[in-house]
Amino acid sequence: MKNLKLPIILAFIAIYVIWGSTYLFNKIAVTELPPFFLASIRFFVAGALMITLAKIFKQDLRISKKQLINAMIASFFFLIYGNGVFVWALKYIDSGFGALISASQPIFVLLLLRLIDRKPMKRKSIIGITLGMFGMYLLVSQQELTTSENSLLGIFMMLTCVLSWSYGSVFVSKAQLPKSFMVSTGYQMLFAGAVLCFGSLGFQEEWISPFNWSQKVIGSLGFLIIFGGIFAFTSFNFLLKNVDTEKVSTSAYVNPVIALLLGWFFLDESLTKQSIIASIILLTGVYFITTVKKI
């Protein structure tokens, strides 16, 4: 473990800073590129790179019919709907605000486990849910952030995306998937890229040539593919094998703080007192939930 100290530190920096900054880069890219077109390119290229890396590391690329179906289902909940629609909603919602909404995922997972598996909740979990719900109410009830119809729609769609991610997490915990996370994720990303491509065509989005993209968009998309899609994800799985899950889960309440600060600093996004109070209450609730070892 002593030899792994530096890799573990670097991996934590990756899941904290890189994942926290993906909201900023998605927001930058979606201001110029159509959302489903953007998500399609991101996932297809990242998926191709992931499969290529798996091949280089001589991992078995074969996949059974059942594993393929499960990978496609997981891809829908995580990437196609959970991420694709979330990126669309960023057209109307600040990146930091969206990150705080996504931080409520552990609350949704806990409630789904209660409904699906009838798992009893510990007192710490109940406190976490109560704080989380109150923090979410304070967050979305701000008039200055919900003055337009599109803002309200964006918030609603983000919440459905969080629900999609949450159900996907419950599904994947029980589903039969390829043992290699690189192979599994690679297939999920390729499938998502293809479906989002058809979705972009179906919604008649304008396909903009890469030669017409600004330097900001090119840099943002490159960051999302290489660092957000591959490097941070690899770091996440490395940590799951070498560090307690409870410590890894701290990213759930560090990412939104990073996203809030980056959005405020680089995009001049509003940071109201109510948002700060709501984020503290919400993230405290998430902390209570993620530190419960057994639900």
d(CA 165, CA 105): 7
Residue ranges per domain, the chain? 9-206+214-290
Between CA 138 and CA 156, with CA 87 as vertex, the angle to 5 degrees is: 40
Three-class SS of residue 122? coil
Q: Exposure of 180 by Cβ count < 10 A (0-12 exposed, 13-18 middle, 19+ buried)? A: middle
Q: Please write the tens of the pLDDT for every residue from 218-277.
A: 999 999 999 988 888 778 878 877 877 667 777 877 888 899 889 999 998 888 888 889
Who's near 146: CB < 8 A, 6+ residues apart?
Answer: 140, 152, 155
Q: Please write the tens of the pLDDT for every residue from 84-106.
A: 999 999 998 889 889 988 888 88
Q: Please write the tens of the pLDDT for every residue from 109-166.
A: 888 888 887 777 788 888 988 998 898 888 878 776 655 668 888 989 999 999 998 8
Token match 């990978």: residue?
Answer: 71
Q: What would the DSSP string read from start to end of 199-263? A: HHHHTT-----GGGS-HHHHHHHHHIIIIIIIIHHHHHHHHHHHS-HHHHTTHHHHHHHHHHHHH
Q: Please write the tens of the pLDDT for every residue from 21-45.
A: 999 999 999 999 999 999 999 999 9
Who's near 98: CB < 8 A, 6+ residues apart?
Answer: 23, 86, 89, 90, 158, 259
Nearest to 140 by CA among 164, 162, 156: 156
d(CA 295, CA 123): 10
Does the pLDDT at position 295 exceed 50? Answer: no
Q: Please write the tens of the pLDDT for every residue from 252-265.
A: 778 888 998 899 99
